[in-house]
Structure 1
Amino acid sequence: MSPERKGVVADVSALWAWIVLAAVVAASVIVVEVGRRLLAGRLSARWPGAGRVARRVAAPAFAFAVVVGGGAAMPYRMLGDQAEDAVGQAVRIAAIGATTWLVLRIGYALTDPPLARLTRIEGDRNRRARRARTQMLLLRRIAAVLIVVLAVGAALFTFPGVRAVGAGVLASAGVAGLVVGIAARPTLGNLLAGLQLAFSDALRLDDVVVTQGHWGRVEELTLSYVVLRLWDDRRMIFPVSHFTEQPFENWTRHSSRLLGSVELHVDWSVPIEELRTELHAALRDNPLWDRRDWMLQVVDVQPNGLVTLLAMMSAADSASTWDLRCDVREHLISHIRRHHPEALPRLRVEAAPWEDGRDADGREQEGRAAPGGGRPARPDTLRRA
């Protein structure tokens, strides 16, 4: 065969190889598109979640189809020795990346619907739902981290030099593991603390906690930190190990219901029974009261002539408890001021001297003359504070 004819045949073969490559890539994309349309169309009518899954995995599925199809039909022999190695390396790394992306998207697409259902659960089952949601989120994050680490390792091991280094590292895995464990001790400690919190049910998403004087809800719980949303919409970020090493209050561990208390310091003349009746009437008309518990008691008698009243009432959650306490406090103060002003706090003092210039024991008081030479007037024995 003449050189000219061989050149023509080579050109035709190269052109045909690239046409086959384009056809294979186009066929792969068409197959993925058909599957996406089936999931989003006919199958979504029977399984509503199929459409959401198709939308979430569409982009990585197309990338996976292009990379795998292109890698399978790539005419490596026509690229030359150096280009063949470089292109093959790039295709392998791209395939690992596309596969990792697809697996992560599939996992997230399958776990998002149950997480959404758990978020909408209210009532008595809310505590179990928050526990399951917290554990599912942490397990999903752990799985994602492991998949990414394995993918990075697989991509690195496609390089011959890295494989040689990896064999040496595996030979001294004990020493390497010890060094890595010492260097990453805080990170590993937070990782274990996060798992401990999630699976010991000590802390869950949306729990109401008090730590270091801060009241807030658990907005985010990861393997390294916990985000508390405070009452004024600030965010406090704590390391996970803080909640395993330091004491904290969990107001919603077993139930979200709480008892709120209101203290009043009033005079001894306050009508206790009438105030107790008024408290019950106010609670009946307040939608924040959960109709569970209430009481009004005298809990202390002070030497300055005051008594301490403690009113307690229950509510469905911490936010309702706070608002109910404020409402009850305002109502009781208004009722006492309007109907029993004599029961407001008063200060009792002992008055001296007497009008005749003698003290309580009958002794003369020297230098106590009133202006104009008269005796000093007798002051009131009871003064309003």
Structure 2
Amino acid sequence: MNGVLTALLAVVVAAGAALVLVEAIHLLVQRLGKRSELWADLARTAHRPFRALVVIYAIQQALRSGVDNFAGRGTVLHLLVLCIIAAAAWLVGALLLVVEDLALNRYRTDVPDNLRARRLKTQVVMLRRVTVAAMVVLSIGVMLMTFPGVRTIGASLLASAGLISVVAALAAQSTLGNVFAGLQLAFSDAVRVDDVVVVEGEWGRIEELTLTYVAVQIWDDRRLILPTSYFTTKPFQNWTRNSSAVLGTAEVDVDWSAPVEDLRAELRRICESSDLWDGRTCVLQVTEAIGGMIRLRALVSASDAGTLWDLRCLVRERLVGWVWENNQGALPRLRADTDPPPPQRHGVALPAPDPGVGSTTAFHPADEEKR
């Protein structure tokens, strides 16, 4: 009984001293965080895992050095070692988050020219996922190696590691393929977070890129979930591969009598009066002249895909309105021949019937005068 009380007293003293030390360090880091975003992020992210690691380590050292006469001491110490390993992995993961935030805060993705920032964000996030996954596996492995029986089993399994690796590779072929495809996407710049893509006939943005899947946010807020291997094995459109600025068209059908030069001048006026246009391209061309109508194609440019969509709609709306208000004769027309075709028999035209014999032609006074 005295041994248990002594152990509890040692735990309380050690834990209390560790908490005081951790909170003192935390207050110091918070004060430094008022001057630096890095220290502020450390105070927010690493406080709890650091506290857990220090407290558990202090308790373990107190039990190991000062108390040795209570039942179950070995088991408790072993559990504390496992907790120390888990807390250390938690702390390292938190520090990785701080490093990621530090790298990403230097490059903003909410600005028009954000190509470099999106590339860095994609690579940093992917590396963090790989590192965290590796740390989890490594920490579990270290925990298992603290058991003597597991160490013995591990030594015996080394002899059959080749066979196990082959079986594991066959069983996880699809998963491993997606993992390597995710790493390839992150460092090949084929696709990045916030890229505008057209995939499976859908227009959207890359919302999330992980080791196994890619989430595409469709324009109507749906999500298209695709395996990462899709983007390494099938073609897709990337509208922001080199820059976010894009070109787009707005087509209008009008009559042959439409004043093309006046419409070209109107397109220029529409673009110059709109904040949606980026000043690069504003062209009106006749692309087709068949079927009794001509097709006008307005080619315009904008800083990004979303702005381009609004500009295309604006151009189409204003051109249609200008034609209606200023030249309604240029509206599309349908022309048809109203004269009936001559009667045929077996593909040969028949002679016209004699109007005087069995004719159903209506009588007109002029016919009487001719007679």
TM-score, shorter chain, exceeding 0.5: yes
Q: 2:43 aligns with which of 54, 79, 82?
A: 54
The Cα shift of 1:44 comes to 2.1
User: 1:328 aligns to what?
Assistant: 315
Which residues of 2 match residues 234-273 of structure 1 at below 5 A?
A: 234-273=222-261
Which residues of 2 match residues 212-361 of structure 1 at below 5 A?
A: 212-302=200-290, 304-352=291-339
C-alpha separation between the residues in 1 aligned to 2:133 and 2:361? 91
Verify the 8 A CA contact 1:40 1:52 in the aligned structure 2.
no
Is residue 2:68 matched to residue 1:77?
A: yes
Verify the 8 A CA contact 2:192 2:206 in the aligned structure 1.
yes
Deviations 1:81-137 (A, max 9, x none): xx123212211111111111111111112221322332346243x111110110011
Q: Which amino acid aligns with 2:49?
A: P
C-alpha separation between the residues in 1 aligned to 2:354 and 2:296? 45
Q: Report the CA distance shift for 1:366/1:231 in structure 2 as closer, same or farther (over 3 A).
A: farther
CA-atom RMSD in angstroms? 2.3
C-alpha separation between the residues in 1 aligned to 2:162 and 2:259? 78
Is residue 2:27 matched to residue 1:27?
A: no
C-alpha separation between the residues in 2 aligned to 1:29 and 1:94? 17
Q: Which amino acid aligns with 1:212?
A: E
What is the TM-score normalised by the length of structure 2?
A: 0.89
Is residue 2:142 matched to residue 1:154?
A: yes
Q: Report the CA distance shift for 1:366/1:249 in structure 2 as closer, same or farther (over 3 A).
A: farther
More deviation, 113-122/232-241: 113-122
Deviations 1:337-379 (A, max 9, x none): 111111111122234279xxxxxxxx8566797774349xxxx
The Cα shift of 1:77 comes to 2.5
The Cα shift of 1:309 comes to 1.0
Q: 1:373 aligns with which of 336, 356, 363?
A: 363
Q: Report the CA distance shift for 1:137/1:372 in structure 2 as closer, same or farther (over 3 A).
A: same
Q: Report the CA distance shift for 1:134/1:112 in structure 2 as closer, same or farther (over 3 A).
A: same
User: 1:116 aligns to what?
Assistant: 105
Q: Which amino acid aligns with 1:251?
A: W
Question: Mind listing any 5+ residue stretches in structure 1 that lack a counterpart?
Answer: 1-9, 355-362, 376-385
C-alpha separation between the residues in 1 aligned to 2:87 and 2:134? 16
User: 1:7 aligns to what?
Assistant: none
Q: Which amino acid aligns with 1:316?
A: S
User: 1:130 aligns to what?
Assistant: 118
Verify the 8 A CA contact 1:121 1:129 in the aligned structure 2.
no
Q: Report the CA distance shift for 1:352/1:200 in structure 2 as closer, same or farther (over 3 A).
A: same
User: 1:203 aligns to what?
Assistant: 191
C-alpha separation between the residues in 1 aligned to 2:354 and 2:211? 81
Deviations 1:13-52 (A, max 9, x none): 76555433322221111111111000001x2244232122
Q: Which amino acid aligns with 2:296?
A: L
Q: Report the CA distance shift for 1:16/1:159 in structure 2 as closer, same or farther (over 3 A).
A: closer
Q: 1:144 aligns with which of 127, 132, 135?
A: 132
Is residue 2:72 matched to residue 1:93?
A: no
Verify the 8 A CA contact 1:53 1:110 in the aligned structure 2.
no
Deviations 1:52-89 (A, max 9, x none): 21121111111111210111111563222xx1232122
C-alpha separation between the residues in 1 aligned to 2:255 and 2:8? 98
More deviation, 104-113/201-210: 104-113
Identity of aligned residues (%): 41
C-alpha separation between the residues in 2 aligned to 1:365 and 1:309? 48
C-alpha separation between the residues in 2 aligned to 1:142 and 1:316? 34
SS in 1 for 2:207: strand
User: 1:359 aligns to what?
Assistant: none
